[in-house]
């Protein structure tokens, strides 16, 4: 006999499968973020060139975009836990390769092997979020999706807080090789946790559709939904033009005059702000006026980026990045909730991958854009311009996507 409704778990954390899934996500993010901070320091130490920092983002995003749609197709049609474990094994391999480079065993003083290792990161990262998104709907009932998305955002942002801080401390205290080694161990732990998850993965209904026809189905679904498309496009262009955090190593060296520990603090500050707002939203889920809240949050993000670019104080810069994380945290929770509520079960992998192209690639494309603009205009003008363009993106979205502007989550 089924349990009475009042006896069912009312918190996502009461579901053991959800806790395991969070462990997988957190360990993978920690690994990835430690590598990201260490690579940024590593490359800038070798080149002293902001454009080289932009190339790090480009080296990751191009293979990510190329693999993302196929990754979503595979997640929808193959065992999700095994795909996730293979992806974390790829993260581990990347970290090991980077450790060998940092130790001087592979092409000492050269940057090309670092970029080659980042290409592998881009390929395997395309699987991580679709696996999480597809399994999310298997471990939680639908009425807990919004709270689960908030808690998942907290776990994600905790990884963004702790990962950069750990990376900066490890580089400063023990060196780049040790930092990469810790990242490799965390990637292995992430895969082991995921394989411990016990969840039913029913086969896809009916015969498997051809790859490109199946991908096309997912694209038509996303581009035919104004609310989902508007939310994703808003984030893509906002983060693309407001990607100041990728220039943090240059700001640390040339303007703020801190060491690698300071880099870790700056990289962690946005995520710390997102953790705080995620905890609030886990208890007070947005409903009415969710669309307006999303637009105001992204506008606030743009203003914070402008403040960061103009600041000459380390702690004031960190404070602006903290506030930018608060704004971005609101956006992340709302986008995640929208995606979980409107996506059919059989398309979650493909839709998550398309979402990843919008959201996941925006950080790396933003890094390339920021590095290029910093080369052309200088550090401060490039960041301030990016924040101003972000404000323009918000205004355009508010006009062009009225359904998003009037969004009420309770009616999805």
Residue-level pLDDT at 210: 66
The structure tokens listed for 207 are: 């015969």
> What is the DSSP code (8-state) at residue 175?
-
User: Hey, what are 236's tokens?
Assistant: 């893509």
pLDDT tier at 8 (50, 70, 90 boundaries)? very low
- Residue where the block lists tokens 């430690």: 34
How far is CA 107 from each of CA 49, 89, 97, 116, 384, rounded to the nearest angstrom?
19, 24, 12, 12, 37
The percent of residues in the chain predicted with pLDDT above 70, rounded, is 87
State the angle between helix axes of 176-195 and 145-173 in degrees (0 to 180), rounded to the nearest 10: 150
Distances in Å between the Cα of 214 and the Cα atoms of 66, 128, 339 are: 16, 20, 18
Distance CA 302, CA 77 (A): 39
Assess contact for 285 and 150: CB atoms under 8 A.
Answer: yes
What one-character DSSP code corresponds to residue 287? B
- Cα 73 versus chain centre, distance: 20
CA triplet 148, 31, 177: central angle to 5 degrees? 165
Strand partners, 289: 287
Measured distance CA(21)–CA(157) in Å, rounded: 15
- What pLDDT score was predicted for residue 209? 60
For residues 394, 358, 350, 17, the Cα torsion angle rounded to the nearest 10 degrees is -80
Give the pLDDT mean for 57-62.
80
CA distances from 120 to 59, 63, 191, 249 (A): 9, 8, 17, 23
Mean per-residue pLDDT, 308-318? 87
Q: Report the interhelical angle of 80-102 vs 50-77 (nearest 10°).
A: 160
Which range in 4-18, 23-37, 248-262, 275-289 is most confidently predicted, on average pLDDT?
A: 23-37
Residue partners of 321: CB distance under 8 A and separation at least 6: 245, 266, 269, 270, 273, 304, 308
In terms of C-beta density within 10 A (0-12 exposed, 13-18 middle, 19 or more buried), how is residue 316 classed?
middle
Which CATH code fits 210-411? 1.20.1250.20
Q: Are 224 and 289 in contact (CB under 8 A)?
A: no
Mean pLDDT of 147-158: 77
162-187: average pLDDT: 88
Same fold? 12-198, 210-411: yes
pLDDT above 70 for 272: yes
Q: What is the pLDDT of residues 95-141, one digit of tens each?
A: 999 999 988 888 777 788 888 888 988 888 888 888 888 888 788 87
Q: Is the dihedral of CA 334, 339, 340, 342 positive or negative?
A: positive
Task: List the Cα angle 336/341/346 in 5-degree steps.
Answer: 100
CA 380 to chain centre: 25
If one compares 355 and 269, the residue with the highest pLDDT of the two is 269
In CATH, the architecture of 12-198 is Up-down Bundle (1.20)
Element (H, E) at 246: none
**pLDDT-based confidence at residue 166 (cuts at 50, 70, 90):** confident
pLDDT at res. 30:
92
Q: pLDDT per residue over 192-226, tens digit each?
A: 999 888 877 665 544 456 666 777 777 777 776 77
Residue pLDDT, tens place only, 356-397: 776 666 666 676 777 777 778 887 888 888 888 888 888 888
More confident residue, 113 or 409: 113
Query: How much is the pLDDT for 287?
Result: 62
Say yes or no to pLDDT of 2 above 50.
no
Q: From CA 303, how far away is CA 204, in angstroms rounded?
A: 45
How many CA within 13 A on the CB side of residue 266?
Answer: 30
Q: For the chain, which residues make up each domain, given as ranges? A: 12-198, 210-411
Enter the pTM of the model: 0.68
How would residue 19 be classed by pLDDT, with cut points 50, 70 and 90? Answer: confident
Say which range, 39-53, 123-137, 142-156, has the weakest mean pLDDT.
142-156
Does residue 186 surpass a pLDDT of 90?
A: yes
CA 10 to mean position of chain CA atoms: 27
Q: Confidence class of residue 399 from pLDDT cuts 50, 70 and 90?
A: confident
């Amino acid at each position: 006999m089924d349990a009475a409704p009042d006896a069912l778990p009312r918190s996502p954390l009461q579901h053991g499968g959800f806790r395991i899934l969070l462990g997988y996500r957190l360990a993978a993010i920690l690994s990835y973020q430690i590598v990201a901070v260490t690579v940024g320091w590593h490359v800038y130490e070798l080149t002293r060139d902001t454009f080289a920092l932009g190339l790090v983002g480009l080296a990751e995003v191009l293979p990510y975009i190329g693999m993302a749609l196929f990754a979503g197709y595979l997640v929808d049609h193959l065992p999700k836990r095994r795909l996730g474990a293979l992806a974390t094994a790829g993260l581990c391999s990347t970290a090991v390769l980077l450790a060998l480079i940092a130790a001087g065993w592979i092409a000492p003083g050269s940057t090309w092997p670092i970029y080659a290792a980042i290409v592998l990161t881009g390929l395997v990262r395309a699987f991580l979020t679709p696996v999480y998104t597809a399994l999310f709907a298997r471990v939680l009932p639908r009425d807990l999706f919004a709270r689960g998305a908030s808690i998942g955002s907290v776990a994600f942002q905790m990884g963004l807080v702790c990962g950069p801080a750990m990376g900066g401390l490890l580089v400063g205290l023990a060196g780049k090789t040790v930092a990469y080694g810790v990242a490799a161990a965390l990637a292995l732990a992430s895969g082991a946790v995921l394989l411990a998850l016990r969840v039913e993965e029913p086969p896809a209904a009916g015969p498997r559709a051809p790859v490109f026809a199946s991908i096309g189905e997912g694209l038509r679904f996303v581009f035919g939904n104004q609310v989902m498309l508007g939310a994703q496009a808003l984030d893509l262009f906002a983060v693309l033009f407001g990607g100041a955090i990728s220039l943090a190593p240059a700001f640390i060296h040339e303007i703020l005059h801190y060491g690698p520990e300071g880099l870790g603090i700056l990289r962690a500050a946005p995520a710390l702000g997102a953790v705080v707002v995620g905890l609030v939203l886990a208890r007070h889920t947005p409903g009415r006026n969710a669309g307006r809240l999303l637009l105001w949050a992204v506008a606030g993000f743009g203003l914070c980026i402008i403040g960061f670019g103009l600041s000459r104080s380390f702690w004031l810069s960190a404070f602006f990045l903290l506030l930018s994380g608060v704004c971005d945290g609101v956006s992340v929770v709302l986008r995640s909730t929208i995606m979980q509520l409107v996506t059919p079960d059989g398309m979650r992998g493909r839709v998550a991958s398309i979402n990843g192209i919008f959201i996941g690639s925006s950080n790396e494309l933003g890094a390339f854009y920021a590095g290029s603009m910093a080369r052309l205009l200088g550090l401060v003008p490039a960041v301030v311009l990016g924040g101003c363009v972000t404000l323009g993106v918000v205004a355009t979205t508010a006009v062009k996507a009225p359904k998003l502007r009037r969004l009420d989550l309770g009616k999805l």
